Structure 1
Amino acid sequence: MEEQNNALGLIAAFLATVLYGSCYVPVRWFEAGDGLYFQWMMCIGQLISGVFVLALVDWPPIFPLAMLGGAFFAIGNALTITIMDGIGMAVGSLLWNTVTCIVGWAVSRFGLFGSLKKVPYDNVMNIIGVVVPQLPKSQSDLKKGEEIEVSHTTRLMKNRPFINPELTLPSLVSGLMYGAATCCFFIASEHLDPIVAYPILAKAPGIVCAVWAILLFKEIKGRWDVLHLIAGICVTVAGITLITVSKVKLY
């Protein structure tokens, strides 16, 4: 096994954060309908990224069980457009990243599903770093929950798929960005351990999404809402810092 390099892991985590947080930006400029065509084209973009990486590493064997991860992602990703249309890109990203953070951390920390158990040097600091970023999200959950629109689901029952040709290239670009981000994620996970990489890469992309939502798409305009989001970002950064430091042996 390759020796761990914390600096390389942090660089990969930073690149993955920027790409994960920006991968949905290209499609926000176009009408995406029910999101199924977007999801299909985005998966093709990810496939292209995967084939390119496989070629770079001399075509290693493929494990069929790992394809379940792609199937689960495709199912969840089909709801992305509905979520972003209902509650916005920033809030939606922060909400689903919260679940990703907790589940990914727990799987690595406790060795669930046959994975290798990873315990950081400072266990208490690591746990605090995971819990703290979830606190401000609970308030936004309650505030934005009533704004979710369910009308999009009725389109799935009409057998009339929505296909916008203008969405093709942006969706492919989103898939390429997501695929590149996932490659960086694997590098970060290898050099930082999943117990550190998962919480960082689950929460940090939400900050990037929030910046895009405020500066580019003007999803959040009210002064109080902006201040509330900034406070949440600061708490998230504090949690990420604790998680990162918990990897280092201080004494």
Structure 2
Amino acid sequence: MAADLYSNISTILPVTSTEPSWVSVQTPSATEEIPELWGFITAGIAILFFGSNFVPVKKYETGDGMFFQWIVCSAVMVVGIIVQLIRKQPPFFPIAMIGGVVWELGNVCVVPIVKTIGLGLGICIWGMINLLSGWSTGRFGFFGLTASVPHNEVMNYIGVAMCVFSAIVFSFVKNEITPIDNMESEPLISQGSSTNIQEMNIDESFIDRMSPGAKRALGLILCLFSGLMYGQMFTGATYIQDHRANFPGASLNGLDYVFSCFCGIYLTSTTFFCIYIVIMKNKPKIYPKVILPGIVSGVMWGIATSCWFVANRSLSIPVAFPIVTAGPSVVASLWGVLVFKEITGKRNLLILMFGFAIAIGGAVLAGVSKN
């Protein structure tokens, strides 16, 4: 039994070969083959953590989000370093960093999206675009990837459509947001005079000067862009895996590309944060109490994404993407109902249950379509 357990674990974290890292392996070895069961397990972990990673910061002020996103990305980088060490430092491929860069390009759009069309509608739209962007890239082989065709294409298409529709259903649920009970209502670095306040809210003032129609148009465009970027996070790593002959030392284990991807996220996030500090004339809005919750949130996101890398290779992108992108909405909604009591009322609960049924049904169909 112990031998069987070790065999299963080694499929995810195998011992590195004594063969030099520059030797290109053309056929998957036994340790590189990740069982389908592990794909579903890691997808489940990703769903749980993606749906819960903002719970630690629920009651803390995050300001304009720039400092918070940098803290989160710093914690993500720590997870990447740990994964790299566990994997015995596999070769570093800069192409895999592209996925992290494009993800962060989409992530910095979240604040203006919330200011223009709101968080609920924003999550719905960029979530759908994210699903379709990543799924279609893997399914049809965009950007030089090898097209991955599910065993049952029709079932996969129906599952994807149901997952997209579930996001629309969830957008009709009304949340009752409770005010943040936090003594730290002001940032660590105060603004001083009203002139400084005006200077420090350049982005807010720009959006406030826009007409309602222009705000909505800007928000929708940013949602489209953000979703497209999110969906391409795995493209660089998948390209390497599909063309290993051109990348000596490359493996089929998705964990070997986590560090490279997270480096892209951290470097891009740090660049944006430095630009933000310059724009704010070295007076960024810093909320110290959000640091520890932000670190916890980033660690959870990093673990979830690492698991998603494994699920993509084990199940294939067309199968894993609908499952992992639809599931977190269910988990997050359960937090809202059972813990934070944000979702109440018969109408909201009925809509939520309907959304649950569609999302779970779509994820099941996407999973079954592999066989």
- Which TM-score tier does this pair reach, normalised by the shorter chain? 0.7 to 0.9
**Cα separation, 2, equivalents of 1:206 and 1:137:** 8
The structure with the larger Rg is 2
Q: 1:52 aligns with which of 75, 82, 90?
A: 82
Deviation of the 1:3 alpha carbon: 2.6
Alignment check: 8 A CA contact 2:49 2:301 kept: yes
SS in 1 for 2:58: helix
Change (3 A) 1:55 1:136: closer
Q: Which moved more, 1:65-74 or 1:38-47?
A: 65-74
Deviation of the 1:96 alpha carbon: 2.9
**Cα separation, 2, equivalents of 1:37 and 1:223:** 38
**Cα separation, 2, equivalents of 1:158 and 1:219:** 34
Change (3 A) 1:24 1:207: same
| Alignment pair present for 1:34 and 2:64 | yes
SS in 2 for 1:133: helix
**Cα separation, 1, equivalents of 2:126 and 2:144:** 24
Alignment check: 8 A CA contact 1:12 1:184 kept: yes
Q: Which moved more, 1:219-228 or 1:201-210?
A: 219-228
Q: Deviations over 1:26-82 (max 9, x none)?
A: 111100011111100000000000000001111122222222222222233334466
Alignment of 1:156-195 (within 5 A): 159=281, 160-195=283-318
Task: Give, as a single letter, the amino acid of the residue that structure 2 aligns with 1:25.
Answer: V
Task: Give, as a single letter, the amino acid of the residue that structure 2 aligns with 1:170.
Answer: P
What runs of 5+ residues in structure 1 fail to find an aligned partner? Answer: 145-150
**Cα separation, 2, equivalents of 1:221 and 1:229:** 10
**Cα separation, 2, equivalents of 1:101 and 1:119:** 16
Task: Give, as a single letter, the amino acid of the residue that structure 2 aligns with 1:177.
Answer: M
| Alignment pair present for 1:154 and 2:204 | yes
Structure 2 residue aligned with 1:23 = 53
Task: Give, as a single letter, the amino acid of the residue that structure 1 aligns with 2:94.
Answer: P
**Cα separation, 1, equivalents of 2:202 and 2:40:** 39
Q: 1:117 aligns with which of 131, 139, 147?
A: 147
Structure 2 residue aligned with 1:147 = none
Change (3 A) 1:3 1:143: closer
Alignment check: 8 A CA contact 2:169 2:355 kept: no
Alignment check: 8 A CA contact 1:130 1:243 kept: yes
Structure 2 residue aligned with 1:126 = 156
Task: Give, as a single letter, the amino acid of the residue that structure 2 aligns with 1:37.
Answer: F
RMSD, aligned α-carbons: 2.6
How many pairs does the alignment contain?
241
| Structure with more helix by fraction | 1
Q: 1:104 aligns with which of 134, 149, 154?
A: 134
SS in 1 for 2:356: helix
Q: 2:95 aligns with which of 65, 87, 98?
A: 65
Alignment check: 8 A CA contact 1:23 1:174 kept: yes
Change (3 A) 1:222 1:142: closer
| Alignment pair present for 1:225 and 2:225 | no
Normalization by structure 1: what TM-score? 0.86
**Cα separation, 2, equivalents of 1:128 and 1:8:** 24
Structure 2 residue aligned with 1:242 = 365
